[in-house]
Amino acid sequence: MTLTPTITDFALSLGGADPVIGQQLVASGWYVDPATGQYYYYDVAQNQWYVYAAGYLYALAAYMNPAPKQETLAPGEKLKITLSFKYVGVAVTGVSARYAIGVSGAGGFDEKVYTTTTFNIPENLAVTPITVTNTATLTLPTTGVGADWDDIYVKIWGGTPSIGGSEVFPAYIYGYENALILIGLAPAITEFKILDFVKV
């Protein structure tokens, strides 16, 4: 008998907090991100999210999801990302994980800042899945940061025995769009005025 590793509920969270547990939506319809006010449409029959922009609906990448929250990040600051999944199976060593900040678009995900690490998955031969997490910290460069670098993703593959996939075609991939609010990219002066004037 050969045991095959089984991974479910693959997800990620921002800021090193407990992994976000998503809820399965049961109805098609419009949803509003309370943090950004962005409208999204979800088609339950196709399990597809669409973003509304400039009068059109654009399909979100299958692995990209609306961010459940946003983190403010300035050049030189660090972002800790935690991935999470449920697991049943034998111990797996040397699983590769890639964490990235970048730009998600029609051509895929353009990684601007990334790191690749490896981690091990402990054995779990019980019926009940265990939760496995892994983290990495990315530092936003101090110069050259684009205002559109607001998306993040993680992907995992390989290991011994392999969970499947490769770096180019990972076994599991998950991302968030509009997860970051980038600040400090350009000088910003507000409330410019004459503070006072008096005879001297």
Would you say 60 and 179 are in contact if contact means Cβ atoms under 8 Å apart?
Answer: no
Beta bridge partners, 65, equal 176
Give the distance, in angstroms, between the CA of residue 133 and the centroid of all CA atoms in the same chain: 14
What's residue 65's pLDDT? 85
Res. 188 pLDDT band, cuts 50 70 90: confident
Which residue type does 105 have?
G
Tell me the C-alpha distance between 5 and 162, whole Å. 8
pTM of the model: 0.68
What's residue 13's pLDDT? 46
pLDDT of 19 strictly over 60: no
Q: Which domains does the chain have, with CATH numbers?
A: 6-20+63-182 (2.60.40.2550)
- What would the pLDDT profile of 32-88 be if each residue is shown by its tens digit? 766 556 667 777 666 666 666 656 665 555 688 888 899 999 999 999 999 999 999
What's residue 2's pLDDT? 40
Give the percent of the chain with pLDDT over 90: 51
Tokens of residue 30, six digits? 């419009």
Neighbours of 124 (CB within 10 A): 18
What's residue 105's pLDDT? 78
Three-state SS across 5-40? CEEEEEEEEECCCCCCCCCCCCCCEEEECCCCCCEE
Tell whether omega for the bond before 68 is within 30 degrees of 0, i.e. cis.
no
